[in-house]
Structure 1
Amino acid sequence: MASLKFPADLDREVRDQRRARLAPGYAVGVTEEMIHAQVHSFYARVREDAELGAIFNRRIADWDAHLAKLCDFWSSVLLMTGRFHGAPMRAHLQVAEINAPLFERWLGLWADTAQKVCPPEAALLFTARARTIASSLQLGIAASRGEAV
């Protein structure tokens, strides 16, 4: 005998099916565990990096909370979970040291970590989305500083 499903369960099931069709990460096998591995491995490297570590370590007091927020961010980006509630542009605007070479350094470490942590298609997706986000942040930062874009 089939179990009865209540409207809330059906709504959740429909949302989950829609998310699986639309979210880019599902198609290439991205999981919450993979996101966790990527974010934690990457930021372990950032913290040890001479240039990036100096900036991040000065600003991040609670790394556990920061990593949890970043996992929520990437889950929202790649799996469309909607867990992230933050303002990345505002956070990045507060960092005076941010510049194009640092973004490139960040992206290089991110891509290298993704290649080590993720299957190839997932690594490409992580990297492509990071590049898009970095570009958007760089444009917003430049505009806020009155720099040519």
Structure 2
Amino acid sequence: MLKEIEERADVALLVRSFYQKVRKNKEIGHFFNETISDWEEHLEKLTDFWESNLFYVDKFRGRPGRAHIMVDQKFDNSIEAKHFGVWLNLWWQTIDQLYEGERAERAKELARNLGTNFHMKIFMARERKSLL
């Protein structure tokens, strides 16, 4: 039987397990591995992000939409919807391997919404850039 996401340690395990998969993935790993220089700092920041969203606490500081736009620009506007699909599938796989319950389901739905939102932000930034 799987356990529920109950505390920050659970979120940290989820984030770390997920990014182990992401970093090894042939389709999306390079976006992360060639961008993130301090993985420990990044994992802590992402743990803050997910903890803030799953437990409704005010820990996360950042602009993730802007960060995704910058990564897309770094990679010559090559991030596509399929990349977000790979990311989302890995996230759901990781959750399903580790957790169950209401917060696990919320983490899945939030990730789906984030993927769509970030993809749209990237697309809109490209459109603005092309108008300049």
TM-score (norm 1): 0.75
Structure 2 distance, partners of 1:121, 1:101, is 27
Q: In the alignment, does 2:97 pair up with 1:121?
A: no
Unmatched 5+ stretches in structure 2 = 73-77
Aligned CA distance change for structure 1 residues 29 and 54 (closer, same or farther; 3 Å): closer
Contact 1:114 1:123 in 2 (8 A): yes
Q: In the alignment, does 2:20 pair up with 1:44?
A: yes
33, 36, 39: which one aligns with 1:57: 33
Deviations, residues 56-99 of structure 1 (Å, cap 9, x unaligned) = 10001110000000000001111121111001011000122321
Corresponding residue of 1:99: 80
RMSD: 1.6
Deviations, residues 23-56 of structure 1 (Å, cap 9, x unaligned) = xxxxx75321211111000001111111211111
- Paired residue secondary structure (2:87): helix
When Rg is computed on C-alpha atoms for both structures, the one with the higher figure is 1
Sequence identity (%): 36
TM-score (norm 2): 0.84
Contact 2:28 2:83 in 1 (8 A): yes
Which structure's relative contact order is higher, taking Cα pairs within 8 Å and 6+ residues apart?
2
Unmatched 5+ stretches in structure 1 = 1-27
Corresponding residue of 1:109: 90
Structure 2 distance, partners of 1:29, 1:48, is 25
Deviations, residues 100-128 of structure 1 (Å, cap 9, x unaligned) = 00000000000000001112433321110
Contact 2:22 2:29 in 1 (8 A): yes
The aligned length equals: 120
